[in-house]
């Protein structure tokens, strides 16, 4: 089981060649001469920054002349516009569009992997085109889970779709363009996280990878044992042990140090999409246990 770490490449305006997700439903751009009221549940007051694509809510009444990006007392960031949610740092808020999301990326540096998380689709097509070599990668992935236990489940159970996809084997051409089509005919295609990057070998993972969640729901129990439950966000977590060859261990330790407090993708086993987590390195330990390889215990926390 090969574990891999993919440092996140932040997608910026210059990298997004095109998208078919328009601004329907997004708030208007901030206007310096406008007086904004206070955002409430009854009367939402929100604006967007068309450069960063961040969405802000007004925190005060009579809000005039306060640029959102530099006025945290008057404005609070609440997320991204619809088209840019899939390139942000949250995995619980999705970019959504009827039937198909069609985007093209030109990152400008070598990448070999693409990962989708919290995705709602039946088909995903990934096409990589190089200006010299033409199409070098073109694969369509079925997102419907076809595994069934028996005929009753096949005929009568609801259709289940996989919510994540790991794409490996992209050609590391810096000048290539990646076209991503997330398709759900007759429904709403959605994706919370689209991550591209150059994967780094993280050793051979030991069997027994642990995954779970940190639940941020509110759970209050009264003195009489009555429970008040309010569902909230949650974040994945992952713990694994990896064996790294001694010849590569120093470079791997340096990678872990560089990536501290930075969002990244960790894949516990590159054949198991369920072991993919988008988050940060919580802690790690290196043990000089064997002559030819070191043992790493790694703990990761996921983003919500």
pLDDT score at 272:
87
Q: What is the 3-state secondary structure (H, E, C) of 194-251?
A: EEEECCEEEEEECCCCEEEEEECCEEEECCCCCEEEECCCEEEEEEEEEEEEHHHHHH
So what's the pLDDT on residue 157?
Answer: 62
pLDDT at 225: 87
For the cut 70, the answer to whether the pLDDT of residue 153 exceeds it is no
Is the pTM of the predicted complex or chain greater than 0.85?
Answer: yes
- The structure tokens listed for 91 are 């995995």
Give me the pLDDT at residue 35, please.
96
Confidence at 206, pLDDT banded by 50, 70, 90: very high
pLDDT band at 1 (very low <50, low <70, confident <90, very high): confident
What percentage of the chain reaches a pLDDT higher than 70? 95
How does the average pLDDT of the chain come out, rounded? 93
Structure tokens at 148: 């069934």
Q: Which two tokens stand for residue 78?
A: 């609440």
């Amino acid at each position: 089981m090969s574990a891999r770490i993919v440092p996140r490449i932040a997608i910026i305006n210059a990298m997004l060649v095109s998208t078919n997700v328009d601004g329907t439903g997004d708030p208007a751009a901030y206007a310096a001469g406008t007086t904004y009221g206070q955002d409430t549940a009854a009367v939402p007051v929100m604006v967007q920054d068309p450069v960063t694509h961040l969405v802000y809510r007004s925190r005060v009444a009579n809000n005039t002349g306060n640029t959102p990006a530099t006025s945290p007392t008057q404005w609070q960031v609440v997320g991204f516009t619809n088209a840019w949610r899939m390139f942000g740092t949250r995995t619980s808020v999705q970019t959504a569009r009827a039937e198909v999301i069609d985007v093209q990326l030109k990152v400008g540096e070598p990448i070999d992997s693409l990962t989708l998380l919290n995705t709602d689709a039946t088909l995903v097509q990934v096409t990589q085109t190089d200006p010299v070599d033409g199409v070098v990668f073109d694969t369509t992935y079925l997102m419907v889970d076809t595994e069934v236990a028996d005929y009753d489940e096949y005929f009568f159970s609801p259709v289940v779709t996989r919510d994540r996809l790991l794409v490996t084997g992209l050609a590391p051409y810096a000048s290539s363009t990646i076209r991503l089509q997330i398709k759900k005919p007759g429904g709403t295609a959605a994706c919370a996280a689209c991550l591209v990057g150059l994967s780094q070998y993280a050793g051979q993972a030991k069997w027994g990878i642990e995954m779970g969640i940190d639940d941020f729901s509110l759970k209050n129990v009264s003195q009489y044992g009555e429970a008040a439950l309010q569902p909230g966000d949650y974040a994945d977590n992952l713990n694994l042990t990896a064996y790294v060859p001694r010849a590569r261990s120093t470079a791997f330790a340096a990678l872990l140090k560089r990536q501290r407090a930075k969002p990244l993708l960790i894949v516990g086993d590159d054949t198991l999409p369920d072991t993919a987590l988008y988050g940060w390195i919580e802690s790690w330990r290196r043990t000089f246990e064997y002559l030819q390889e070191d043992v790493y215990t790694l703990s990761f926390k996921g983003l919500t």
